[in-house]
A and B are shown apart, each in its own frame.
Chain A
Amino acid sequence: MTTPQEVQRPTSPFHGNVRPILNEVLHALDKLLGTNESTTIDLASLPFGPGELEHLEALLGKGELSAELDALGTSSIRETAYPGVWWLEHRNAFDEVVGRYLEITRTPEILSSQDADIVAGRAHLEDQFE
């Protein structure tokens, strides 16, 4: 047994863990178009080798729309190059990634103004008249 001297990162990111996700996205798009049903894939629950997550992100690319949410840390919500496929990344107050998802939907729910916030905001606006 020798003492480890160096561990190199594999030169190829292809461990075979990206392709099944692309297949799942494809099926989710069919479901969205067929029955208008959205799908969320929690990327934290799937195995990725070094470089594979970045490879998946690069494969999906960037689309026309991106948004940033500032609530309990920042979140980025970005449509990929494939319409209907959204890349969501949630960070906590220390800027650590706490959740990473692919949402196959027309608009991620978190982008919509929420009733509770609208009610609170309306009350605040009304206060401006006093």
Chain B
Amino acid sequence: MKKRPTVGEILQAKGVSRRGFLKYCATTASILALPPSMIPRIAEAIENARRPSVIWLSFQECTGCTESLTRSASPTVEGLIFDAISLDYHHTLQAAAGDQAEAARHAAMKENDGNYLVLVDGSIPLGNPGFSTIAGISNVDMLKETVAGAAAVVAIGSCAAFGGIPGADPNPTGAVSVTDLVKDKPVINVPGCPPIPMVMTAVLTQFLTFGQLPALDKFGRPLAFYGQTIHDRCYRRPFYEQGKFAKTFDDEGAKAGWCLYKLGCKGPTTYNACATTKWNSGTSFPIEAGHPCLGCSEPNFWDDGGFYEPLSTGHFDSGEKLAGAAAAGVALGAVAAAAGRRRQAKFMKEG
């Protein structure tokens, strides 16, 4: 296998100073949700890391995940493609087409056998192979062929992770998730519709930095980003504690920015990092824009009750689960931050 340059060598060749490199490491720690005390270790790891080859497969999807990724502020997708990873195959972003594109995929697989990452967005139809094909190859065949020599697979978006909208009732194409098909390789689920761009790049950066996969929850999601609920970290949480709720989208409570729980917010049962990482370079997230969380990073969110029905009407049998969740996470601010850091420390210990 051709020896790829280390990231340290690439940055040095580009004339990036040590100060610039430390800055890069600080922002990397931040996107990996690691404590700043980890920065020296990150610096050492990144300096010696080699660019992994990445093959991105797009199946039954809307390209929203790629749209989201290309809006990742740090690292930029350009930086990610040219510096941090070697993106050897991606329908939308690559210049090659047809036979040349497929040749690039096969070359990357052969050259990096056992070491490359496969990223998948979109679910895989099993109802009829003809429902979705690329270069005449069915999605399921392409997935199996490509995954065979991979180090790991990352299922990007709720469609790849859980079946998503294509898999919603009545699931006309027989759509399944990556984990339904891939049993002999590590699979990381990065759900969301779409996922937060920083989370996608952070998972890749984690692999690049430490050469290992992050600690995962029971749904295969990285704990660093899916370890706490939206509700746990929501800036409107104090209003929930005070019993101040918006009851319609334009009442006084909505205008005052009160809790959206009664408008169907799924924040208490949704694990994701939107409340702190936010969107559009940290500008805002749905709740801050006045709309309840839809719970798009949870399995089967599309079929899991009405978006505007409060959780208490159908998702919690008697309100006990919610009461338990609230009691377990009453503390805010510094206490929540301390808990987050303990989780990060645990993550690093286990990772």
Contacts and interface: CB of A to CB of B under 8 A. Distances in A.
Contacts, number: 143
Nearest to B18: A114
Nearest to A95: B281
B18 A21 contact: no
Contacts of A98: 27, 30, 73-74
Interface in B253-301: 254-257, 275-277, 281-282, 288-291
B26 A101 contact: yes
A17 B232 CA distance: 13
Interface of A: 1-11, 15-17, 19-21, 23-24, 40-42, 44-50, 52, 69, 71-72, 75, 90, 92-94, 96-99, 101, 109-110, 114-117
B3 interface: no
B310 to A, nearest CB: 12
Contact of A94 (B27, B76, B238, B256): B76
4 nearest A-B pairs in the assembled complex, by CB-CB distance:
A20-B333, A71-B20, A20-B334, A49-B235
Given A17-B333, A98-B74, A44 B277 contact: yes
Contacts of A50: 235, 257, 288
A8 B288 CA distance: 11
Interface in B294-312: 308
Contacts of A2: 248-250
Interface stretch (B62-70, B102-110, B148-156, B335-343): B335-343
B17 A114 contact: yes
B26 A47 contact: no
Contacts of A8: 255-257
Given A6-B250, A45-B30, A40 B37 contact: yes
A96 B257 contact: no
16 contacts: A1-B249, A2-B249, A4-B254, A4-B290, A6-B255, A17-B332, A20-B332, A20-B334, A24-B337, A44-B282, A46-B337, A47-B237, A47-B276, A47-B336, A49-B235, A115-B18
Interface centre among B17, B277, B291, B336 (most CB of A within 10 A): B17
A9 B282 contact: no
A85 to B, nearest CB: 15
Given A2-B250, A101-B36, A9 B257 contact: yes
Interface in B7-62: 16-20, 22-24, 26-27, 29-30, 33, 35-37
Contact of B26 (A15, A49, A99): A99
A69 B19 contact: yes
Nearest to B264: A1
